[in-house]
């Protein structure tokens, strides 16, 4: 998680002034739902968001954790879309930047392009696995989020 938080810090200019710390906090927390103590549904975005909500984290961070990295697509694959809907989806620069931090960083913290990360994820799951089906479907949509971050960063660079 530290690598993703570091990557989020690098992407901080892709979000509105004042949102930088929220982005980094969400990057630190985005995978908290993998913890066996809180992983009740075994769908980590939902479990993490419920845990953070129960512990009074700010709603923005809770919703970012709930919807990070294409969670809505995987929730549909797993029959959990109604439960994920407990958390409002906000297609925003903050969510885009969290997605970019997560999906340009590999499992061991290495830097990947989005396409390299997609290939890495798909290589770990069989085609009939919900994760594989999710990313096959979500890849172009989530790729647009990463591209928006890249455009925002380019626009923020001094000329």
Q: What is the pLDDT of residues 15-44, one digit of tens each?
A: 999 999 999 999 999 999 999 999 899 999
Q: What is the pLDDT of residues 43-59, one digit of tens each?
A: 999 999 999 999 999 99
- Sign (positive/negative) of CA torsion 120, 99, 105, 115? positive
Contacts of 108 (CB under 8 A, 6+ apart): none
Q: The whole model's pTM is what? A: 0.95
CB-CB neighbours of 98 under 10 Å: 30
pLDDT of residue 116: 97
């Amino acid at each position: 998680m530290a690598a993703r938080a570091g990557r989020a810090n690098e992407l901080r200019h892709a979000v509105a002034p004042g949102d930088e710390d929220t982005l980094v906090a969400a990057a630190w927390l985005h995978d908290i739902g993998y913890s066996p103590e809180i992983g009740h549904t075994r769908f980590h975005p939902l479990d993490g968001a419920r845990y953070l909500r129960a512990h009074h984290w700010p709603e923005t961070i809770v919703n970012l954790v709930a919807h990070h990295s294409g969670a809505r697509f995987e929730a549909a694959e797993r029959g959990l879309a109604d439960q994920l809907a407990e958390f409002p989806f906000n297609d925003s620069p903050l969510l885009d930047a969290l997605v970019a931090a997560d999906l340009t960083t590999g499992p061991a913290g290495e830097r990947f392009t989005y396409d390299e990360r997609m290939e890495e994820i798909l290589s770990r799951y069989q085609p009939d696995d919900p994760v594989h089906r999710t990313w096959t479907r979500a890849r172009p949509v989530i790729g647009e989020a990463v591209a928006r971050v890249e455009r925002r960063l380019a626009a923020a660079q001094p000329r």
